[in-house]
Structure 1
Amino acid sequence: MSLASYIRCDIEIPINDDEYSDETFYIGCCFTGEFDLLNVTKYQFTTSYVYEVSSHWGIEISEYMNPKTCVESKKKLIELCEIMDSYLDKGDFFELYSCWVGVEAEKRDGELTLQINNFDIEQIEIPEKTLVRFEK
């Protein structure tokens, strides 16, 4: 199984169609198919544009993770926030949700709201099946 991360926002953003990109982080398909995207849209997000955030492993920040993978997730989250900050206007937001592929329709375990440019990456925890709202 693979951990996938998804984002939802109210604007259309460009995606990278090359799922085998050498980039460490991009917006486009990697693990999921159309059915997975439909389920995460229906069960975890409200509406609008939904994308898989592909990085060859999802974003999860937890004390129970492999330390190397946790550090990589922190870097990916910072990069994601920088990318989304360039697309969003003041008052806008995007949401992030990570889960194992195939369980997108399961009940989420938690919710969290953060300011897109004002959080301490070393002080947050984002385990799988947690919906995070990043506000600008």
Structure 2
Amino acid sequence: MSMATYIGLNFSVKLNEDYTEDEVEIDYVFSSEEDRNVVKQKHFTTPYIYEVFEKDEPIWRMNEDQKIHSPHNYEKSKKTFLYLCHLLKELLPKGDYCEVYICWLGEEVEECEGELKFNLNNLQIEAIDIYEKYFIRIEN
């Protein structure tokens, strides 16, 4: 099974057709259109659903458990997360937001186990814990 990091946007984005060296991309990775529609109906308010393609450590490992038990992986996840925040800061218009939901493929219909909301302009990285089945709203 694969873990999917879904991202919902209020606008469509052009997908890369070629491989890039970017640490994070917005694309379709593991999910099917049906999986994305379930996330859209169950968790998101945004009309355009994609996935975040994380090429190093996934952002769902940026949490207190990883910080304690695997600090090296926590730091790699934090680096990926900061790259995603930088990408979103450029992509999201001022006042707009995106939504993120992370789960194993096939678990899209399950209830979220936590929520997180933050603003890209007031990022307090040490206070952010990301786990699977978390709904995250990121505002610009």
TM-score normalized with structure 1 length: 0.85
- Stretches of structure 2 that go unaligned for 5 or more consecutive residues are none
Provide the rounded CA distance (Å) in 2 between the counterparts of 1:87 and 1:25: 13
Provide the rounded CA distance (Å) in 2 between the counterparts of 1:17 and 1:59: 23
Structural RMSD (CA): 2.0
Q: Tell me if 1:67 matches 2:66.
A: no
Distance 1:21 1:35, change over 3 A: farther
- The answer on whether the counterparts of 1:4 and 1:58 sit within 8 Å (CA) in structure 2 is no
Distance 1:17 1:4, change over 3 A: farther
Task: Out of 123-132 and 61-70, give the one that drifted further.
Answer: 61-70
How far residue 17 of structure 1 moved from its aligned partner, in angstroms, is 4.1
Greater percentage in helix: 2
How far residue 106 of structure 1 moved from its aligned partner, in angstroms, is 0.6
Provide the rounded CA distance (Å) in 2 between the counterparts of 1:35 and 1:14: 20
How far residue 23 of structure 1 moved from its aligned partner, in angstroms, is 4.0
How far residue 126 of structure 1 moved from its aligned partner, in angstroms, is 1.3
- The answer on whether the counterparts of 1:3 and 1:58 sit within 8 Å (CA) in structure 2 is no
Provide the rounded CA distance (Å) in 2 between the counterparts of 1:25 and 1:9: 16
Structural mapping, 1:11-30, within 5 Å:
11-17=11-17, 23-30=22-29
Residue type of the partner of 1:88? L
Where does residue 109 of structure 1 map in the other structure?
Answer: 113
Q: Tell me if 1:95 matches 2:99.
A: yes
Where does residue 10 of structure 2 map in the other structure?
Answer: 10
How far residue 49 of structure 1 moved from its aligned partner, in angstroms, is 0.9
Q: How many residues align?
A: 135
1:78 to 78, 82, 97: 82
